[in-house]
Structure 1
Amino acid sequence: MTLPQEEARDWIGLSLIPGLGGETYRRLLAAFGSPQQIYAASASHLRQVVNAEIASAIGTGPHGPLIDQTLAWLEIKGNHLITLGDKNYPQAFLEIPDPPVLFYAKGNTKLLNAPTIGIVGSRHATPQGLKNAEFFAQALSETGWCVASGMALGIDGAAHVGALKGSGSTIAVVGTGLDIVYPSRHRELAHQIVEKGVLVSEYPLSTPSKAHNFPRRNRLISGLSRGVLVVEANPESGSLITARLAAEQGREVFAIPGSIHSPLSKGCHQLIKQGAKLVDNIHDILDEFSHVMARHEQAFETAKAEDTLLSVMGFEVMDSETLIRLSGLTSDQLSAKLLTLELEGSIASLPGGRFQRIT
């Protein structure tokens, strides 16, 4: 667990107060600074931000069996609580209107800041639709993209399966607590995602499958993604909710066309008429985002060079000439990396043009 247990208790405790939704939680954080300070605030100060009932609930402090259950769950390797104050909080979530104040994750949380494409569609997909979802997901994953979906039956499941075959992996955003696998037929898939990808939920542990949870979780699928591909959908499909949210969030929307006689093509055709990009091969998506991967690769190479430099430095005091010889960097490259590392607090600049690693 990355957060100290008492801090985690406070974050979780506030999230479980009835009537205290994300917007109210963010107002409290803006007013008081942190969950600890919210709990320490007087009733009169709290009532300036929330109603008397919520202020009273905050005044009783964070307690209850679900908090203890969650803290025990967080002690298990691979289980995470990620809050707005966490360095691993996805930057993409900060671009959407209603970012989660906190959410739970199980698996590799580094994927939450990877370049991501959402793939969604019908639970009652055709065999060809399932093949398309798996093919596009695998192709995207093999080119370095992470694929986000909702782990539902049909297109979602096929997208996760395809993505797991590539190097980019997958993110499953679910509408239940992370101690529940829904649908149960995807239990083995969920285990594979935990091993190679990551499961995400903003719902507390033990939250069962409820119909109204799934449209809300869709904003997180689109929120994590640079764009959303709809593979098959009828006009009433929840996938069109994800596509609409993606458009509202400034994400690209893609759709695969199909037969004019198939009900599962009508939703995609509707999206195309509304401006979604028609997709019939993987390059229709990759060409749209070539600049994203270029920036991602540049950032990766920069981080790799900085890691190499820190490695060769050890914790000895070294001058620039020695660092150039050991790292293989040019003088200009070394100067840029040293400045970045100094600003990050990883190294200290010493008199005489010498440097030392301090973290």
Structure 2
Amino acid sequence: MSEGDELAYWLALRRAGLGSASFALLIARFGSIAEAWESPLGELRAAGIEEAYVRSIARTKAGFDAERELRALERAGARALTWRDAAYPERLRQIPQSPPVILVRGAAGPEFPQAVAVVGTRGVTPYGRQAAELFCAALAELGVAIVSGLARGVDAIAHRVAVERGTPTVAVLAGGVDQVYPRENAGLAERIAEVGCLVSEYPVGTPARRDFFPRRNRILSGLARAVLVVEAGEGSGALHTANWAFEQGRDVFAIPGSVFSAQSAGTNQLIRESTAKLVATPEQLCEELNLLAGGGQFPLLRSEPEAVAARAERPDDPILALLAGGPLHIDELTRALGRTAAEVSGALSLLEIDGYIRQTGPMTYAIV
């Protein structure tokens, strides 16, 4: 029996739907997954495997081809790590319901000495976008790997900030590592693979499913030393991740939001219930994580004299004058300036390139 065959049988049993409890029973009874795979179904029942899983194993055996399974892994550019592998992430190994096997696609990871999971709503507000960018940029500047779920909204922002700064980032998927969801993030997924990796507990070719997302979140928090909830409404999946993290003994932090915003109801509730600790600035988060120990300097916050000097250097521009009152959509700027959308868009692009403004939402801009 080759090492490759052994790995193929781990993958086969995952295709059959077996989880951590069943794998643990098989290893305790047979010593190896290969021995378990080759054993009669009656012995699997005797090991304590539920009847539904025994029938699923029988169906999987009928059409399983070990070489084909390993070729599929190779075509996807992925590698598989099982509980028996030294490279299996130690943080993940220690959590309850640790996945027996994970698939990894990318240049680095999935475990990093310093890693923070950043999660939040898909329907991110301009406030949430700005907060996610600010906190993730701070973590990236300090070399902290960012873990998230590649969903729309906060997840995508967190990954994008990391890749733009060349900082490792890990995307945990609710389907196979070759099945990016949503499809609009396929390009981002490839960039993530260049500086970090994509991770999944599901075999190659497995499409994302609604019921996979809640279980995916335990891996997301399990790979990190702490979880930061940026913006989350009631019932948000980000709250599930926070709960997993709390159960796993991870630190949980939340950025407070407006009491008038439904998208901040969940984060504010986490703070009220003391499930998460409030962090209002990136510096507070980094201090809580001891990232500034040993006299380290926080790289993103300017001193007040520096901030005043930076404001003084801004050009006398009507767009900057309007944005001094807060973020504005391009349509509001166009109306206020009495210029065409094309003219305003061009001016905004130049100001953004020069570092005076940035987007805080779809076509919404604010002063840096």
TM range (shorter): 0.7 to 0.9
5+ long unaligned stretches in structure 2: 295-368
In the other structure, the counterpart of 1:289 is 289
- Farther-moved stretch of structure 1 (63-72 vs 153-162): 63-72
Equivalence map 1:271-350=2 (5 Å): 271-275=270-274, 276-290=276-290
Matched, 1:26 2:24: yes
Structure 1 66/124 Cα, relative in aligned 2: closer, same or farther at 3 Å? farther
In the other structure, the counterpart of 2:186 is 187
Q: TM-score, normalised by structure 2?
A: 0.73
Any idea what the Cα deviations from partners look like across 1:53-109, whole Å, max 9, x if unmatched? 655765788563685554113224841111111111011112211000001110134
Any idea what the Cα deviations from partners look like across 1:260-316, whole Å, max 9, x if unmatched? 11111111110111111111111222222227988xxxxxxxxxxxxxxxxxxxxxx
In the other structure, the counterpart of 1:73 is 72
Alignment-mate amino acid for residue 157 of structure 1: A
Alignment-mate amino acid for residue 281 of structure 1: T
In the other structure, the counterpart of 2:358 is none
* CA shift for structure 1 position 16: 1.8
* CA shift for structure 1 position 248: 1.0
**Taking every aligned residue pair, what percent have the same amino acid on both sides?**
38
State the distance in 1 between where 2:220 and 2:171 align: 8
User: RCO (CA 8 Å, sep 6+): is it higher in 1 or 2?
Assistant: 2
Runs of 4+ in 1 over 4 A off after TM superposition: 51-63, 65-69, 291-294
Equivalence map 1:149-228=2 (5 Å): 149-228=148-227
Q: TM-score, normalised by structure 1?
A: 0.74
Give the secondary structure class of the aligned counterpart of 1:100.
Answer: coil
* CA shift for structure 1 position 193: 0.6
Structure 1 178/255 Cα, relative in aligned 2: closer, same or farther at 3 Å? same
State the distance in 2 between where 1:61 and 1:191 align: 31
Equivalent residues of 1:138, 1:164 under 8 A apart: no
State the distance in 2 between where 1:52 and 1:110 align: 37
Any idea what the Cα deviations from partners look like across 1:213-257, whole Å, max 9, x if unmatched? 111101111111111111111112111111111111111111111
* CA shift for structure 1 position 128: 2.5
Structure 1 69/42 Cα, relative in aligned 2: closer, same or farther at 3 Å? closer
State the distance in 2 between where 1:105 and 1:206 align: 13
Alignment-mate amino acid for residue 143 of structure 1: L
| Matched residues, number | 291
Alignment-mate amino acid for residue 27 of structure 1: L
Any idea what the Cα deviations from partners look like across 1:29-50, whole Å, max 9, x if unmatched? 1222211221343555333212
5+ long unaligned stretches in structure 1: 295-359
State the distance in 2 between where 1:204 and 1:77 align: 11
* CA shift for structure 1 position 200: 0.5
Equivalent residues of 1:172, 1:200 under 8 A apart: yes
RMSD, matched Cα: 2.5
In the other structure, the counterpart of 1:253 is 252
State the distance in 1 between where 2:55 and 2:168 align: 44
Alignment-mate amino acid for residue 288 of structure 2: E
- Farther-moved stretch of structure 1 (68-77 vs 135-144): 68-77
State the distance in 2 between where 1:141 and 1:63 align: 48
